[in-house]
């Protein structure tokens, strides 16, 4: 199976000022594309040559996983944004957030701390466990809840420096605060209830 860079659902400049055009061009147009190209080359002649992406993420390790994980992670990341996002969750997802974190505000604070405090490069995730609860994890490098078999990823915040350095330099906390301004809760709600 040959993987392709998915088309962005918005223009490269549409997420500014939260994420600027230069960052999107670098992050999406160079880093994400490189992971896609690397993965296509790495799976040739392996048991993953005709596998779907989720299977590769679940079952691979080493350099194949590093690239497959980053393709999966970046697809979720970029599809979760909108220049005109639904700014807060509602319905069953909001109920689950309140049940697991106390309030929407407490959830954002807990998730933000996970993203800001992750040492080095990686991802902060909100995911749904097999029993329907919500949890937050820190995953180094290309890690995600699919690979670690902890649950279904709902939100991934990329804290590799290339995701924020052109806009924020070393101010990761500012990037994480502005992340909420473009996160589209409609997309997250669809994942939560099982629509993709």
Under the banding of pLDDT at 50, 70 and 90, the label for residue 150 is confident
Domains in the chain (CATH in brackets) are: 21-79 (1.10.287.990), 91-192 (3.55.40.20)
Strands 134-140 and 152-158 come out as unpaired
- pLDDT at residue number 148: 84
Q: Is the pLDDT of residue 149 over 80?
A: yes
| pLDDT over 90 percentage in the chain | 94
Query: What is the token pair recorded at 194?
Result: 């099982």
pLDDT tens-digit readout, 153-164:
999 999 999 999
- pLDDT at residue number 195: 56
- pLDDT at residue number 99: 97
pLDDT tens-digit readout, 95-141:
999 999 999 999 999 999 999 999 999 999 999 998 889 999 999 99
- pLDDT at residue number 194: 81
**Contacting residues for 113 by C-beta, under 8 A, at least 6 apart:** none
Q: Averaged over 34-44, what is the pLDDT?
A: 98
| pLDDT over 70 percentage in the chain | 99
**Do 2 and 40 meet the contact criterion of CB atoms below 8 Å apart?**
yes
Beta-ladder partners of 153: 127
Query: What is the token pair recorded at 61?
Result: 């390790």
Strands 152-158 and 122-128 come out as antiparallel
Q: Is the pLDDT of residue 80 over 80?
A: yes
How many CB atoms are closer than 10 A to CB 113?
15
Beta-ladder partners of 128: 134, 152
What strands, in cross-sheet order, belong to the sheet with 152-158? 134-140, 122-128, 152-158
- pLDDT at residue number 37: 98
Q: Is the pLDDT of residue 172 over 80?
A: yes
């Amino acid at each position: 199976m040959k993987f392709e860079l998915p088309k962005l659902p918005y223009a490269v400049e549409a997420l500014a000022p939260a994420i600027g055009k230069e960052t999107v061009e670098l992050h999406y147009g160079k880093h994400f594309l490189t992971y896609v190209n690397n993965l296509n080359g790495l799976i040739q002649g392996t048991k993953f040559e005709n596998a779907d992406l989720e299977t590769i993420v679940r079952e691979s390790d080493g350099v194949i996983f590093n690239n497959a994980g980053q393709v999966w992670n970046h697809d979720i990341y970029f599809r979760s944004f909108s220049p005109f996002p639904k700014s807060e969750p509602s319905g069953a997802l909001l109920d689950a957030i309140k049940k697991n974190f106390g309030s929407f505000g407490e959830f954002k604070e807990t998730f933000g701390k996970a993203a800001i405090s992750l040492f080095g490069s990686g991802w902060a995730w909100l995911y749904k466990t097999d029993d329907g609860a919500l949890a937050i994890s820190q995953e180094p490098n290309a890690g995600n809840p699919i690979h670690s078999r902890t649950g279904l990823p709902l939100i991934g915040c990329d804290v590799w420096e290339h995701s924020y350095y052109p806009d924020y330099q070393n101010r990761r906390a500012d990037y994480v605060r502005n992340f909420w301004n473009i996160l589209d809760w409609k997309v997250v709600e669809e994942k939560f209830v099982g629509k993709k």
